[in-house]
Every structure is written in C-alpha cells, then in structure tokens.
Structure 1
Amino acid sequence: MRDNSILRCWRALLGVLAGFFGVRSEAAREQDFKEGRALHFVVIGLLMAAGFVIFVIFLVRWALSLSGV
C-alpha cells in the first residue's frame, strides 16, 4: 500500500512539472484526475510555486549585485 502512495506522489510531481512547462497532454491530465489525489497536486504545486518565487528573488538579487545596485 505504501508503494502505491509513493507512486501516486511521484506521478503527481511529474504531472505538476509538466503542467508548469505546459507540456501535459489531455489524456495524461485526464488520467491524473482519475487516479491522482487532489491533495498531492495541491501540495506539490504550492511547494513548486514557492520554490519558483524564491528562485526568482535570488536571481534578481544576484543580478542587482552584479550591476552594483
């Protein structure tokens, strides 16, 4: 049972990654809705969005430090 949960989380992670890049097919998206748990997608999506925002903040700070501002 635990292996099935890990597999679901892994598939949710791949689904969210593909969604972030906009390369998820319609068939794969439908399969995610049928087999996946919404909580997995929400948590992974929020974590990835927060990670992206933090990455952009550090990137801007780094660029500003290079320009001398």
Structure 2
Amino acid sequence: MANGTGFLSTLQSTLASAFGVQSEKKRKRDFSQGRPAHFIIAGMIGTLVFILILMLVVKLVLSQSG
C-alpha cells in the first residue's frame, strides 16, 4: 500500500472525486495503477452511505413536522 493504490486510498480518491476535489495527479495514478474492483466497491459503499444518510435526514424532518 506504499504506492497509494490500496483500498483505503481508493475510498479516499472516490470520496474526493465525488466532491470534485480530486487532483489530476491522483486521478492519473488511479487510472494507471488502481484496481477497478476497488473503485466499484468504493462507489457502492459511498452510494449506500449516501442513501442511509438521506433516509435518516428525511425521518428526522418528518418526525419534527408532526
């Protein structure tokens, strides 16, 4: 993992790119050395977390409204 292409590095890159703050250097590294399966899994985890947070916020708002 010293070269920065491990799964945790992939999660960090996926999160940074989701917010639009991924550097060009890291993007090039990800495309040249990254493993596609890691990016697929990281994307699925990110999507699941996003949906769960959204559901939590909706439940909170609905409970406060009535």
Give TM class, smaller chain: 0.7 to 0.9
Query: Percent same amino acid at aligned positions?
Result: 34
Q: Offset of 1:19 from its aligned partner?
A: 1.1
Where in structure 2 are the equivalents of 1:1-69 lying within 5 Å?
8-68=6-66
Q: Offset of 1:11 from its aligned partner?
A: 1.1
Q: Offset of 1:44 from its aligned partner?
A: 0.9
TM-score normalised by L of structure 1: 0.82
Count of aligned residue pairs for this structure pair: 64
TM-score normalised by L of structure 2: 0.86
* More helix as a share of residues: 1
After TM superposition, which residue ranges in structure 1, 4 or more long, deviate above 3 angstroms? none
Alignment gaps of 5+ in structure 2: none
- Aligned equivalents of 2:6, 2:32: Cα separation in 1: 12
CA-to-aligned-CA distance 1:3-49 (integer Å, 9 cap, x gap):
66xx6111101101101211001221011111110100110111111
Alignment gaps of 5+ in structure 1: none
